[in-house]
């Protein structure tokens, strides 16, 4: 298989370890990638040949940089979300617990390779979580919260949070992430409901937030059959979020949808700002050193004035 592999070098590996991070990408090729979560590795592949190529190179790279790992999991990346399956173990002890813990700048996050397609932490949001921690908001609204990693990042610097996700199971894992970091959940709310329905309810109650996270899935289906398509519905989502945003607040716009790249997000944001008569500047976090250009989520921060 002729393909260009981009494995991180030993110096970047040392940088991650020095900052207390063991959740990051190790390699990217055209049809796959390898991620690290603690001592366990996850290979994502679009073709079987890509998986075999990555496995072969992994052992040579690990020897060269003196990197020790435990288990290897692999998952196929299908074209349709409904075809996604949980990773399967391809190297290591099958009798071990499928759960582990990964760290990001010394924060701890639960990883579960048996809970579904995603293990519990999106490595491509690492710099955005760092920014949330740096800003230190007072009140964070985390939409499509998944396992609440943004909320943990903000809560560790004093924020109270509202976490909204359709999945009760994901929010339960979010609570566990708070516990892993010795953060009490008494000042944090977990709402298992459709974000599109929740935002107007919060607005009617007069709730306001100085940070809002909008990182929706490309597609989702709520109970009752109502669907969310990010290409069509992100604009409405942002308009509703702006109703909840304080004057000097910030909103993260992020998506893995290939159609909505960074420029498209900015165009959409400018339209919504004009429609709601709000003013904002745009902020972008530094590129991720373990991701090649164009890989990972597209993101932009709105800094409202």
- How many structural domains comprise the chain? 2
Answer yes or no: do 190 and 271 share one domain: yes
CATH number at residue 13: 3.30.750.80
**CB-based contact 44:35 (threshold 8 Å):** yes
Report yes or no on 186 lying in a domain.
yes
Cα–Cα distances in angstroms (integers) from residue 211 to residues 61, 65, 190, 253, in the given order:
40, 40, 16, 11
SS3 129: helix
Answer yes or no: do 213 and 288 share one domain: yes
Report the C-alpha gap between 275 and 258 in whole angstroms. 25
Answer yes or no: do 79 and 137 share one domain: no
Q: Of how many residues is the chain composed?
A: 305
Cα–Cα distances in angstroms (integers) from residue 55 to residues 5, 67, 142, in the given order:
12, 14, 36
Question: For residue range 271-288, what is the model confidence (pLDDT) as tens digits?
Answer: 999 999 999 999 999 999
Report yes or no on 250 lying in a domain.
yes
Answer yes or no: do 87 and 206 share one domain: no
Answer yes or no: do 176 and 279 share one domain: yes
> Cα 284 to chain center, whole Å?
16
Cα–Cα distances in angstroms (integers) from residue 93 to residues 35, 36, 119, 280, 295, in the given order:
19, 17, 18, 52, 31
Give the confidence band of 83 by pLDDT, cuts at 50, 70, 90: confident
CATH number at residue 177: 3.40.50.150
pLDDT at 2: 44
| Enclosing domain of residue 25 | 6-97
* Per-residue pLDDT at 259 exceeds 80: yes
């Amino acid at each position: 298989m002729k393909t260009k592999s981009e494995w991180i070098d030993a110096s970047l590996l040392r940088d991650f370890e020095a900052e207390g991070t063991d959740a990051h990408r190790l390699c990217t090729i055209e049809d796959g990638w390898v991620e690290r979560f603690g001592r366990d590795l996850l290979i994502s592949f679009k073709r079987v040949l890509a998986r075999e190529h990555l496995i072969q190179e992994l052992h040579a790279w690990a020897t060269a940089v003196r990197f020790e790992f435990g288990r290897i999991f692999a998952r196929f990346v299908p074209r349709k979300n409904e075809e996604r399956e949980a990773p399967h173990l391809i190297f290591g002890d099958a009798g071990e617990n499928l759960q582990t813990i990964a760290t990001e700048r010394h924060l701890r996050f639960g990883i579960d390779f048996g809970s579904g397609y995603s293990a519990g932490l999106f490595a491509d949001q690492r710099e955005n979580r760092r920014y949330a921690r740096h800003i230190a908001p007072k009140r964070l609204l985390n939409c499509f919260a998944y396992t609440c990693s943004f909320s943990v990042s903000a809560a560790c610097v004093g924020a109270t949070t509202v976490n909204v996700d359709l999945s009760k199971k994901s929010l339960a894992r979010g609570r566990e992430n708070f516990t892993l970091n010795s953060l009490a959940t008494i000042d944090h709310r977990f709402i298992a409901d459709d974000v599109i329905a929740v935002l107007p309810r919060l607005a009617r109650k007069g709730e306001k937030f100085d940070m809002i996270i909008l990182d929706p899935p490309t597609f989702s289906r709520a109970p009752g059959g109502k669907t969310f398509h990010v290409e069509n519905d992100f604009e409405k989502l942002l308009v509703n979020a702006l109703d909840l945003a304080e004057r000097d607040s910030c909103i993260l716009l992020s998506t893995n949808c290939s159609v909505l790249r960074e420029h498209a997000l900015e165009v959409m944001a400018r339209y919504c700002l004009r429609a709601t008569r709000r003013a904002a500047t745009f902020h972008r976090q530094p590129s991720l050193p373990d991701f090649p250009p164009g890989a990972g989520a597209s993101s932009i921060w709105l800094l409202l004035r």
